[in-house]
Amino acid sequence: MNRYLFSLVVPPIAVCRYACAGCCAAPITVFWLAGLGSMLYGYLGGPLGLVGISWYTMGLGAVLWAIASVWAMITVHNARADMCESKTDTLCRKVTPSLDESDPLDEVTKFQ
């Protein structure tokens, strides 16, 4: 599936799959779930308890979904230049111990 089409349909999963998940997957998920919930709530009548569909609530859900999708598309587009892709980044880089460092668990077993 195309990255941008995937960003339209399920933005949080697109960010986790094609970009660094720690960048902004959580806020995108909040916007997307709020959009889904608002659209479902609007379909059921909305805050006024209408007999039909509450179009204002449906519109709010569509706007929240659009915000999440655009945010995910920008994140996926900039994933190559993102700091999580960089080799010099200290946030996403694994820290390997030096050869002269001892294992902390070995230190604990020595004192028992």
User: Which is more confident, 24 or 29?
Assistant: 29
The string of pLDDT tens digits covering residues 48-66 is 888 899 999 999 999 999 9
Question: Can you tell me which residue has the tokens 């587009």?
Answer: 77
Please, what sign has the CA dihedral across residues 42, 46, 51, 55? negative
Question: Are 24 and 75 in contact, with CB atoms under 8 Å apart?
Answer: yes
CA distance 61 to 3: 22
Number of domains into which the chain is organized: 1
* Amino acid at site 39: M
**Structure tokens, 61:** 């859900």
Where in the sequence is the domain holding 40, given as residue range(s)?
A: 3-110
Per-residue pLDDT band for 97 (boundaries 50, 70, 90) equals: low
Q: Is the pTM of the predicted complex or chain greater than 0.85?
A: no
